[in-house]
Chain A
Amino acid sequence: MTPTPAPFDPPQLSRFPAEVRAAYHQFRATGDATAVQLVVLSAVREHCPRKTTLAAEDSAATAGLRLVEDLAYDSLAIAELVFFLEDLFEVSISNEEILAIATVGELRTFVARKLSEKFAAPA
């Protein structure tokens, strides 16, 4: 897959793999929420405070991984990940919403729902 050109090529993703940037572009251009999954997974891997073994590809096992217990996330890393997603997708996420999320799968479901509210009718 080749990198997709602007307009949906934000600086926050400039160091991410081309397929992640392409997935973000696809989501913003088409509203295809499944494309977001790769972006979220990549962001989770990116914000692990320590070197992670989190696989690049999607899998059922990944969805069950717990941010704190399995991926060594601390509260700062969670806050940083949440801000990254807020900033990237231009949404606001409340403390109550964050506290309800424990696993990678719950985070992906949450982001998909949040974005469906905001981007229900893509321009």
Chain B
Amino acid sequence: MTLAPAADRAVITGLGFITPIGNDRATVGASLRAGTPGLAPVRFLGNPNLPVKLAGTVKEFSVDSPLWRDWQWPARYDIPRETLRSLSPHGVYAFCAVTQALADAGLTPADIAHDDRTGLFCASAGSAMLLHHNLAAMHAVRGERGNPLGVVSSISGTLNFNLAAHFRVTGAVVGFVSACASASHALGYALDELRLGRLDRVIVVGAEELNAETLVPFAAMRALSAGTTPATASRPFDADRDGFVGAGGATALILETATLAAARARQPYAELAGWGQSADGHSVAMSHPEGVGLRRAMQRALADARVTPAAIDYVNAHGTSTPVGDRAEALALRAVFTDIGASPVISSTKGLTGHPLSLAGAMEAGFCALALAEGFMPGNPHLVTPDETCTGLNLPRATLLRAPRVVLNNSSGFGGSNVCHVLRVL
């Protein structure tokens, strides 16, 4: 009988950002410190009457066409023809984020290729746009011909398929589909794999498209803000919030055992100290009105990281700016922190980025890692009048240039899925 390897700590050694507030770590950090929003006017389906006026847009990319030949991306990323042919639009973002994160971690593609101890965990809802395009074409010719790469470029595993093939990942490859909690699940289970000694390194990547097919259906759910001003449309926890602002992009994190990072002489951004999850058991789309599921996920994450609520300096809230969701999270935060006399700084960076759905948890874990490494706590620059349910919560408007030591990152998704991470300074 062989003993399982001793549990090792997990650290974040690389970050790659393709986000509405910046396409590299320096720009993202500057946007978070200055409170610069990444929202811009959008028009979908050529229809000015839609109640979707703004979105967290991805700059430097043009991936609106269903034909990859039309796509454009920054020249600093070399996407070979054999990879491009089966990518989705959000796969292009993800490719660039992973490339960026590997370089940031001091790794070359050759370092991870065919390395049985490196895995790839992805979060993606697939490409509704490509799926629609391919299936409409199928119907038009009554199934007599079709794009042979239609399946792998559009279904919800498209990120895992493509990135694992391109980067020659041999440790493990898997995708997570829990809507707005997907990327947080990917990161949480990546931590478990390292703790179990099954892998030494996991590339975690979340990505989301920003197009009519992804975003406009949320208008039918009455979930989107009708706001037209970037400075106020996404205003989590505000009494006058009226829905979320959609966003696209990708974020990649390189999660490694502390032992491997030390052997490579890398200074990590932060430790991923624990995670917790729960389910509301309540509604297909809405949060539990009292936030009981999210409360349980936060408490489980704190317990897993062996920290008390009073030890948390900063909470990156899920806070999407929807009336129901923010209320539930505010009540959950009060139950976990206020009721025991703790008062961490709380903000939702979705005020700046909008809500990138499947990407959210990875992007915000990346923001938390930056906050820990660079010593700041993002604020709530769009908050004017806090909702009455936020009584007792510490929601500063401006970013605090004060270093947190332990932070909590919240995510919630459809079906009542709640996932929280605890990250710690090193």
Contacts and interface: CB of A to CB of B under 8 A. Distances in A.
Interface string B332-373: 000000000000000000000000000000000000000000
B148 A14 contact: no
A49 B82 contact: yes
A80 B70 contact: no
Contact of A12 (B67, B80, B86): B67
A76 B148 contact: yes
A119 to B, nearest CB: 17
Contacts of B81: 48-51
Given A50-B81, A51-B81, A92-B144, A80 B69 contact: no
B259 interface: no
A5 interface: no
B293 to A, nearest CB: 43
A86 B149 CA distance: 14
B149 A80 contact: yes
Interface string B71-106: 000000000111001100000000000000000000
- Main DSSP-derived SS at the A contact region: helix
Contact of A76 (B145, B146, B149): B149
B147 interface: yes
A80 B69 CA distance: 13
B158 to A, nearest CB: 15
A79 B148 contact: yes
21 contacts: A12-B67, A14-B67, A14-B69, A15-B67, A49-B85, A50-B80, A51-B81, A76-B85, A76-B148, A76-B149, A77-B82, A77-B85, A79-B149, A80-B85, A80-B147, A80-B148, A82-B148, A83-B146, A87-B137, A87-B145, A92-B144
- Closest 3 pairs (CB-CB, A-B): A49-B82, A79-B148, A15-B69
Interface of B: 67, 69-70, 80-82, 85-86, 137, 144-149
